Amino acid sequence: MSEITLVEAVRLALARAMEEDETVLLLGEDIGIDGGVFRATDGLIERFGERRVMDTPLSESLFAGLAVGLGAQGFRPVVEYQFMGFIYPAIDQVVNHAGRLRNRTRGRLTCPMVIRAPYGGGIHAPEHHSESMEALFAHIPGIRVVIPSSPAHAYGLLLAAIRDPDPVVFLEPKRIYRAPKEEIADDGVATPLDQCFTVREGRDVTLITWGAMIIETLAAAETLAAEGVEAEVIDVATLKPLDMATILSSVERTGRCAIIHEAPLSGGVGAEIAAGLANRGLVNLLAPVGRVAGYDTVMPLPRLEIYYMPTQERILRTVRRVLAYA
């Protein structure tokens, strides 16, 4: 067992899924001989052939619709979008078809497809390459929105997403594509969807996050630990449907909570979590829910990017305010 990166874990899961199920197909731009812009599909065309690893024309609206047709015919297409900034044409197909085909045909036709896309900032990429628009998808009925925060979760959650009988939007935090590394046994064991993961236990405050922000959040928890404050850290992992039970149970114990995400503050998934806490966990809250997020602005170009992204300092400032509230 060797240590691998998140993007390597994605490739390992894709290969595993293709190995075990002939109906799994990959579609996307430059995913064949080029291996994808982040090399997530590197070597897969050599291993599985052009029939199953298909370079498509530059038609972002088309591939999502193509996957709907393939899904209805019993295939399990996995579609790669090069960057989240190019995924928006697919929203038409996801809202109007993928998310509702099962419901509108009473299960006669279904759509077991996965849409993969790297997302998020912090790598000084060009314009339109750094956004975190997961909330757009989390609002859509009939789909799942899944975000891994580590190589092990990327492997297990992607396997689960591919095996799932319904459409999954799988967003990969590209800032942590190459580091940190983790040991992964390629055992084909999926990580369950629809549940949050407690990645650090603590009794004083609950920190809720997902994707690459797990790095800053865990770092903040370490800093707090040195000060004698034990933070519990929850990785949401499946943003839709949202496992509020795990979150409520943690906050019931800690009484204090901060939500951390890179996406813009307003209307973000953090707002849904905060609303869930207000609705069902208010009596356990000892302080207002803190939120640390991207600002409600256009993702800045690289020179101002670091001032947009939540940092450990910003997280600590909010958490200390939450802790100080009496």
**107 contacts another protein (rule: CB under 8 A):** yes
141 counts as binding another protein under rule CB under 8 A:
yes
**Min separation Cβ 105 and another protein, Å:** 5
Smallest gap from Cβ 254 to another protein, in A, equals: 22
**In this structure, are residues 51 and 21 in contact, taking their beta carbons and an 8 Å threshold?**
no
Binding segment for another protein (CB under 8 A), chosen from 12-20, 50-58, 171-179, 301-309, is: 50-58
Residue 199 token pair: 């990645």
The CA-to-CA distance between both ends of the chain, in Å, stands at: 49
Dihedral (CA of 277, 272, 141, 236) sign: negative
CB 238 to another protein: min, Å: 9
| Distance separating alpha carbons of residues 305 and 112, to the nearest angstrom | 36
Binding track, positions 61-100, relative to another protein; x by CB under 8 A: xxxxxxxxxxxxxxx-x--------------xx--xx---
Q: Is residue 49 at the binding interface for another protein, with CB under 8 A as the rule?
A: no
Alpha helices in the chain (DSSP H): 6-20, 44-48, 60-72, 89-93, 101-104, 134-138, 151-163, 213-226, 244-254, 269-280, 302-308, 312-324
Q: Does 247 help bind another protein (rule: CB under 8 A)?
A: no
Selected from 11, 16, 76, 102, the binder of another protein by CB under 8 A is: 102
Contact call for residue 234 and another protein (CB under 8 A):
no
Cα–Cα distance between 147 and 169 in angstroms, integer?
9
Distance CA 79, CA 299 (A): 25
- Closer residue to another protein in complex, CB, 59/266: 59
110 lies in the site for another protein, by CB under 8 A: yes
Q: Which residues contribute to the site for another protein (CB under 8 A)?
A: 25, 51, 56-57, 59, 61-75, 77, 92-93, 96-97, 102-110, 141-142, 164-166, 194, 241-245
